[in-house]
Each structure stands twice: as structure tokens, then as C-alpha cells.
Structure 1
Amino acid sequence: MKDIFDKCNLGNLNLNSRIIRTGTWETENEDGGFLKNSVYDKYEAIAGSGVGAIVSEIFALDHKDRFYPYSTNQNYKGFIKEYKMITDIAHKYDVPILGQLAFFYYDDGENQKVEANDISIKGIRKLQAEVFMAAKKFAYAGFDGIQINMGNNFYLARFMNPYFNQRTDQYGGNTENRVRISAEIIKLIKKTMNLHVSCRINPLDVRKDGIDYEESKKIAKELEKAGADSIQLTARTISYLYDGREKNPFLVYVDELIDELDIPVILGGSLRDMDTINEVLNNTQVEFVSMSKPFVAQADFLKEWKENGEGKTICQSCNNCYSKKTSTCFKY
């Protein structure tokens, strides 16, 4: 029997449980980017709760990015010092921590919002270099890895989506070509740094001629081939297909994906109670579950779950923290 609080391994990372905390926005900072004391308290509570691993809040590449005002960044004077303190907090509890990089727009030097079809090879090299340097900065700050967000509607998700990418060169066309921009980044990181590389992807996007389950599996296999250490699934499209009568197609998909990969897959989704999560763990091939908004509502809820042997998050899935782009809960 699998249990949430099993000690386990996520690739090369040792975990104290099967729960991965995934961050979203960071609004608890001062002008200039410096973190408020509440951020350190939050990480202390999360790391000490029994979490398996932590994925940070989103780091943006560019101050002109769509979500920059709600994200944290690497380009202020205190980044290395402050985030070394954050990673030290996680490591005090033997919890690995990954820095999450996500960007919606990309400025190639000629166009502040250049899209997949228009970015030049020179622009692609500039983008790849900037992502590589972000990984370097994470390593300097003590992070155990990087999660590159290639899901939802972020830039790299659009780049490898045939709905958006109609290039006719080596970065367009078939799956391998559309994933190439990301695969080359992963290869370089793995060649030069001792970082766990996690990729966050969509199972499908509900767009005609976009990504479906089969295309998503192909994308995951290309990322694995490039050297990715784990895949994390987002869950933005579960509600479109699941009516509660048949088996959740997202769970069918994740089992099929796990069958096709040799690297761990982290299941994302609106899982809110210990019994349901353990049921998923024991009735599918899922080994790891990510949670985000529950940690916004109550940073240390896992501690209560572990002590009581059961539990349900106080998060009501109102989605206000995400939609209003804040790192604090509106109710709690």
C-alpha cells in the first residue's frame, strides 16, 4: 500500500513524502524585489510540515513580462543572499527545493512579444542562453533543481504547440522539432550543472489542431530523451472532459504516460483530502501529487494530516489567490 507520507525518491531527490508543493505568485516583497519576513515564515511552515519537495513561486525572465508584477525575480541585489536563506530553510528539514521559471512573453531584442513563428534563430539562441543563466542563478542560490514551466499558456507551451507553431525550419513541424528549443536547453543544463530538471506540461489544451493526449505523450518522451528528470502535469483542462460518471480521463492519461516514460510523473489537479489522494496513489500508477492553493490557505496543513492520519485542506478552491494573482489567501 502506498501512502502520502512514504519516504521515496523523485529521480535523484530524496523525499519525505509524495506531496510536491508547487508555488504560483509571489506578492510578499518590497520595492526592489526584497522578500518580506512573511515569505521566510511561509517556507519554514511548508518545509517543516512533511512535504516531499518544494517548487518555488514563479520566477520571471523579464521585467516587461505579463506576470512580472506578481512573480519573484532573480535580478535584484539580494537574490542570491535571500534565496540561499530560503533554500537553507528547506534543507534544514531535508526537503529538496526547485526554482520555477515561467515566462509568458519573450523579448528577442527586436520584438518585446515575439512569438514562435517570428523569432529568429538568433533570438532562439538568446532565449536559450537566458534560461540557462537562470538555471545557473538557481544553482548559486542553493536550489536542487529547476522546474521549467512549459504548461498552461506560457511561452514554451505555445512554442511546442502546433496550434501556435507553424515554422518550417528545425524548430517547427513535427513534435521533435517543436520541442527542440526546450530539449537543447535541458541538454545544456544537464551537461554543465548538477540540477534536477523538471518540466511542467499540459495533457491537452482543448484547441482544434492543438495538443491532445497523444501529442502530449510524444512531447513528454522528447523531454525525457533530452535529459529531463521528471514531468509535472498541470490540470487546467480536467474539468472540460470529466462528468463524474466514467473514470476520470486525466487519470487514464497519466497511467498511460507513466507506462511510456522511465522518469517520474507528478500528478497535478484539485486534490484536496488525504483519503482521495491515497485512493489515487493506490488505484493508479501515480507516485507523486502536486498541490498549490492548499499551501496558500494553510502552509503547514500536512503536519495535521500526518498527525491525524486523515485530513482535508481548508482551501475552498475559490481560485481567488490565482486569478487575482496574490500569494496570500483571501479567506484565511
Structure 2
Amino acid sequence: MTKLFSTINYKGVSLKNRIVMSPMCMYSCMNEDGKVTPFHMTHYTSRAVGGVGLVMTEASAVQPEGRISPQDLGIWNDDQISGLKKLNEQIHTYGAKSALQLAHAGRKAQLDSTIYAPSATAFNESFKVPAEMTIKDIETTLEAFKNGARRAKEAGFDIIEIHAAHGYLINQFLSPLTNKRTDQYGQTLENRYRFLSEVIGSVKKVWDGPVFVRISTDEYHKQGNKLEDLIYVATQMKKQGVDLIDCSSGGVVPVAISPYPGYQIKRCDTIKQEAAINTGAVGLITNGLQAEEIIQNDRADLVFIGRALLRNPYWAKTVADELGHNIEAPTQYKRGWN
């Protein structure tokens, strides 16, 4: 059996393979209520049918002002639980585990309402200037992350991922490019990590399952966090009981990058080895040989697949065929798969 299709366990949650559907915003909540729609049911369930080990839903806002857009999924009130619970029932029916990404957009929220960030600087000229968060605002947001985790548990998710990448709120606290505070949440790396540390602590008050955290491993700016800074962050997260670092990059400040196949994997590998923590590799991973090499060479423990799964919901089946590995077909599809 290929290593890509071997099982892996996190705090009693066993994934049948190392393939993760990466969280990708779908902007499909047409009523701006953050609730699951028929599109979400089809979109996520089809990837579970297709054979991925873990289906991770898109960024789900812990506060309405934390949405990237008015069409984002939400986890800020109890009315949103029932739709997510039904979605989980479908994902689990087809043998996949599920994860929810707790998120807050911070200054990158594109909303008519007031938006918030650690410092009152806009992402670029087309974005609103955010209100600088007070200590009370921070406390309220930490409580929102805790309540989001509680709702994720009630909805039946197996894993929670905290979104601390791509220039959204937690990343804004982490990065010296966006955090200009002079209080206990700013100035030093230790202080800039404080908000993420407190988010993890808040989530763990109500959640005893696996916790993943997505970070931007490269800010593509010479004054941004360096790799050694992020190894420190990863080491601190390990001490707090985080199970895996999902290693993405970018999004902190406007900058053009030139991606290529596996362009984020080197830093993912370094963080895994230096911090001695499980990592997830993401970024233009498109075929089975590439994914298998990453896992076999211990460069990451999971592969997070995004655009390839948008093109082909049955990417896991395609890759299994490529690697000469048989995966179990859903009963309904056995005539076609076997």
C-alpha cells in the first residue's frame, strides 16, 4: 500500500488516508446568514464520495464582522448548527472525517459594517480602514472563537482548524507588517503570538479533539516574519497541544508571487523537522506521484488539495489508480470503479 493511502490518527480521530480537501471559500450563502446551502451539501459530500480522508469546510466566521464577504459560511450563532450537522452526517456516511476552519477576516473583511484589526491600517486602497481593536474587542473575539468551537462540536465535526494565515485577523496579530500595537499584543514576537495563543486556549476550553492551525510560512516581504520566527510560533503551538501545522503562505500584504508545483513544501518540511510537529503540505500539488513523494520523504504528514479537487471531485480515486492502489468504492459506484 502506498503511504499516501495509509491511515493516520489524531487524538483518536483516524483518517483513512493522507488526502485533505483544503478549505476554500465558496461565497455561496446567498441570504448572508452564514448557513449551509444545497450547494455546500453537494460540494463537500461529493469529495467524501470521491475518497478523500478529511473534508475541511471553508473558513467559517466566528463573528459576522469577521466574514471575508457577506456570502461566507458562519459559526457565530446556534442557528447555523443544524445545517452543519446535516452536512456532517453526509460526509461521515461516505467514510471521510470532517474539519471546520474557524476564521476571522480582520481588516480583509469586505463588508458594509465596521471591521476590526490589531492596527488601524487598511490592506490596500480598495479596502476599508479597520477600527483598532480594544482589549475588550479582543476579549469578545476570543469568546467568539470559543463559542465557534462549541458549535463545531455540537455539529459533529471531528477536527478544528484555526485560520491564522493569509493575512486574516490572527495573521494580522502575528505579523510585524500589520501589527503596530504598543501594548501586550504588539512589538515583540512573543507579544504578537499572544493573540493566537489565547485563541488556542479559548478553543481548548470547550474542544478536546484534534486542533490544526493554518499559518503563512512566507510573507514575501523582507520586513515580515522570517522562517525562524515561524518555527518559534510552531514550537509554541506544539507546547499548547496543537496537532498539526497547515503550511500555506502569503496574503499578509499585497504582493505578487510566482507559484510553482510544490512551492510551499520546503518551508513545510523545515517546520516539521525543526519544531518536531506534524505538518500539512498545500500549494499546487496536482498528481499522485508528487503527493506520494511528499509523504514518503516525510516532508509532511498530510497533503491539502485545493484546485485539483475543484477540477475533479474524484481526485483521490484518480490518484489511487495512478499509484496502482485500490480504494473502496461507495456501494452505488462499485460497478464503475471495480
Q: If the TM-score is normalised by the length of the shorter chain, which range does it land in?
A: 0.7 to 0.9
Mapped pair 1:68 → 2:69:
yes
What is the identity percentage for the equivalent residue pairs of Structure 1 and Structure 2?
A: 23
Match of 1:309 in 2: 323
Give 1:243 deviation, angstroms. 8.3
- How many residues end up aligned between the 2 structures? 305
- Aligned residue identity for 1:292: G
Deviates further, 56-65 or 192-201: 56-65
Q: Does residue 292 in structure 1 map to residue 306 in structure 2?
A: yes
Structure 1 Cα separation of the partners of residues 217 and 2 of structure 2: 24
Contact persistence 2:101–2:163 (CA under 8 A): yes
1:162 aligned residue = 176
C-alpha separation in 1, matches of 2:213 and 2:147: 17
The match for 2:7 is 7
Rounded to whole Å, the distance in 1 between the matches of 2:27 and 2:324 is 31
1:140 partner amino acid: E
**What's the TM-score, normalizing by structure 2?**
0.80
- For residues 283-315 of structure 1, the C-alpha deviation after alignment (integer angstroms, 9 at most, x for no partner) is 34322110112222222221233245369xxxx
Which residue type is aligned with residue 118 of structure 2? Answer: A
Distance 1:79 1:11, change over 3 A: same
- Residue of structure 2 aligned with 1:200, choices 181, 194, 214: 214
Aligned to 1:267: 281
Q: Distance in 1 between matches of 2:46 and 2:230?
A: 35
Greater displacement, 74-83 / 127-136: 74-83
Amino acid at match of 1:42: H
**TM-score of the aligned structures, taking structure 1 as reference length:** 0.81
CA spacing shift, 1:264–1:103, aligned 2, 3 Å: same
Structure 2: which amino acid aligns with 1:104?
A: A
Contact 2:60 2:75 in 1 (8 A): yes
Q: Deviations over 1:142-176 (max 9, x none)?
A: 11232111101111101111122232332123222
* Residues 245-272 of structure 1, C-alpha deviations (whole Å, 9 max, x = no match): xxx7844332221123343110111110
What SS does the corresponding residue of 1:54 show, helix, strand or coil? strand
Distance 1:115 1:81, change over 3 A: closer
1:24 alignment partner AA = M
Residue in structure 2 matched with residue 114 of structure 1 by the alignment: 116
Relative to structure 1, the CA distance from residue 113 to residue 11 in structure 2 (aligned partners, 3 Å threshold; closer, same or farther) is same
| In structure 1, C-alpha distance between the alignment counterparts of 2:67 and 2:82, rounded to whole Å | 26
| Alpha-carbon distance in structure 2 between the residues aligned to 1:296 and 1:250 | 20
**2:16 aligned partner, one-letter code:** N
Q: Deviations over 1:216-273 (max 9, x none)?
A: 1111112222222211011448x958889xxx78443322211233431101111101
Q: Could you tell me which residue of structure 1 aligns to residue 18 of structure 2? A: 18
List, as ranges, runs of 4+ consecutive aligned residues in structure 1 with deviation greater than 6 Å: 241-244
Distance 1:305 1:243 in 2: 20
Aligned position for 1:47: 48
Q: Partner of 1:69: helix, strand, or coil?
A: coil
Task: Indicate if the aligned counterparts of 1:187 and 1:227 stay in contact, CA closer than 8 A.
Answer: no
In 2: Cα distance, 1:75 partner to 1:254 partner: 31
Give the equivalent residue in structure 2 for 1:325: none
Where 1:198 maps in the other structure, the secondary structure is strand
Within the candidate set 196, 199, 202, 1:182 is matched to 196
Residue type matched to 1:298 in 2?
Answer: N
Asked whether the equivalents of residues 264 and 281 of structure 2 are also in contact (C-alpha less than 8 Å), the reply is no
Query: Contact 1:167–1:173 (CA<8 Å) still a contact in 2?
Result: yes
CA contact (8 A) 1:28 1:38 kept: yes
C-alpha contact (below 8 Å) 1:62/1:68 kept by paired residues: no
Find out whether 1:149 has 2:150 as its counterpart. Answer: no
Classify 1:250/1:100 alpha carbon distance in 2 versus 1 (closer, same or farther; 3 Å). Answer: closer
2:123: which partner in 1?
A: none
CA distance in structure 2 between the aligned counterparts of 1:8 and 1:120, rounded to whole angstroms = 41
Alpha-carbon contact 2:287-2:319 (below 8 Å) kept: no
Deviation at 1:87, TM superposition (A): 1.1
- Alpha-carbon spacing, 1:121–1:65, altered in 2? closer, same or farther (3 Å): closer
Q: CA deviation at 1:66?
A: 5.8
* TM-superposed deviation, 1:18: 0.8
Determine the structure 2 residue equivalent to 1:231: 245
Residue-by-residue CA offset, 1:174-225 (whole Å, 9 max, x unaligned): 2221111111221232243223221100112012321121111111112222
My pick for the range that moved more, 61-70 or 266-275, is 61-70
In the alignment, structure 1 segments of 5+ residues that lack a partner are 312-332
Shift of 1:115: 2.6
The 1:142–1:66 alpha-carbon spacing in structure 2 relative to 1, beyond 3 Å, is closer
